[in-house]
Chains A and B, each alone.
Chain A
């Protein structure tokens, strides 16, 4: 269920340079190497360009904080305060320690940030997952935060936008994580019945229990270019069928071609695209 062989991409917010580049005396922290074209880029230039490689168009992974800054009007984001914390249902030794460590390191509370905000003045409920926190995996807290947000959208009669990035259901919470798929999907069912819009945006990578629940249930499903999207991870598939996977398998473009994504949208055009879709759902 959790992703296994997604290319280890360096996360834009805490880049570590490869040995050879350290040797080349490039100041660590200011430069970043594109995972696709291998060009060494000035970090600020990349950031000013939506964290897209100016050379080849590769989309670097984005933290939830930066994502919100790119999509939501400045100063309008109000994060939901649920005041809930993880427990350790399987009593796994390292789990809570790991969570505490990640909180310290990333400044994140959990693998999703949820709240209310505006997109060019249009009010929305938005959830943004974050790969920096246990690969965006969904356990009880993530499931509860997302379900709360969906119910909030129903209560306030607002459109819902979820940016997914996730390896799937969170292994460390066992069956409880699996049940979050039922919980979130049932809530999307209610939102659907209430006649409200849900835009699901798939970013790199979206897999497992997140693909097999709310992420695939958008009225409109957008994806970022080249994002890896699927149910089973590539390594599991390769081991099962004992053959190599074709080029381009499980990319956003592959999903578009097979009819599971409505539109592949560049990050630089994401806010405007969502805004235009929001307007198309007004006054009916």
Chain B
């Protein structure tokens, strides 16, 4: 049997520059995609891509954290680190999805929400909090797919959903291992060690019941075969949607509430 990759190995794969980004998958999975822009309040932040997509007979609203595929695009997209406007844009499209009874798919891939002066001035914390609250009660199915790095509140801000899927080598954590080591041990160079204790792999999170399913990747990672990876994700989207589409709306919201309500590890006092 092949040796299980360490959390650090997986993180390294998740961060590889040629790892497929959300738009790579979107292009391959959907029959049609129309990108739409802007939060209607301040700007169009490009770290999150929103739009409408069709898959067979179903229309979806897409919300996707987007890293750049080269230096120029990375600068434009702020390395996939959203400003508050990205979250407010996402919320606008989630509300629109609800209005038109259109299911939502989110692609999570970020090192975290952007820590900058302007981001703070425009309420990064409030923007994330508001998204989390609203996602908990949006009355259409929400499918969340972690495709690369899912780090901190910046990931969770588009991560509250009914079915949460993760690619095999993607990670999902409270913070990047560098940040974690820096805060807990005052030494960001201990990131590798942090990655191993944080339980951030898809396998760990499945055990924690934080996610519902792991989507297998090609040996060496998703970039080895984009077509096959896209096909697997597409099938999982179809499966997840089949499961959710006929659930009564009140029941859907209850189910989602209880899903997160039950998260947490504690015991009864001795």
Residues of A within 8 A of B (CB): 1-2, 4, 83-87, 89-92, 140-141, 143-144, 147, 169, 171-183, 185-190, 192-193, 208-209, 211-217, 230-233, 236-237, 240-241, 245-246, 249-250, 258-260
Contact = CB atoms under 8 A, between A and B. Distances in A.
Given A1-B179, A231-B120, A183 B200 contact: no
B40 interface: no
A180 B264 CA distance: 7
Contact of B153 (A1, A143, A189, A245): A1
Contacts of B114: 240
B29 to A, nearest CB: 26
Contact of B125 (A143, A179, A190, A211): A211
B72 to A, nearest CB: 20
B3 interface: no
Contact of B116 (A89, A209, A237): A237
Nearest to A176: B265
Interface of B: 113-117, 119-126, 128-130, 132-134, 136-137, 152-153, 156-157, 159-160, 172-175, 179-180, 182-184, 197-200, 204-205, 208, 210, 256-257, 260-261, 263-270
B123 A260 contact: yes
A246 B120 CA distance: 12
A177 B265 CA distance: 9
B199 A140 contact: no
Kindly name the residue among B119, B153, B198, B257 whose own CB sees the greatest number of chain A CB atoms within 10 A. B153
B261 A147 contact: yes
Contacts of A246: 117
B129 A92 contact: no
A77 B120 CA distance: 36
B184 A171 contact: yes
A230 B125 contact: yes
B260 A182 contact: yes
A183 B260 contact: yes
Contact of A175 (B115, B117, B133, B200): B200
A154 B114 CA distance: 35
5 contacts: A90-B199, A178-B174, A186-B137, A189-B133, A240-B114
Contact of A185 (B129, B182, B200, B267): B129
A199 B270 CA distance: 34
A87 B266 contact: yes
Kindly name the residue among B117, B159, B184, B204 whose own CB sees the greatest number of chain A CB atoms within 10 A. B117
A1 B197 contact: no
Contacts of B179: 1, 236
Contacts of B152: 1, 178, 209
Given A211-B125, A212-B153, 17 more contacts: A1-B153, A4-B182, A83-B269, A85-B269, A173-B265, A175-B204, A175-B205, A180-B263, A181-B156, A183-B263, A186-B160, A186-B260, A211-B126, A212-B132, A213-B132, A231-B128, A236-B115
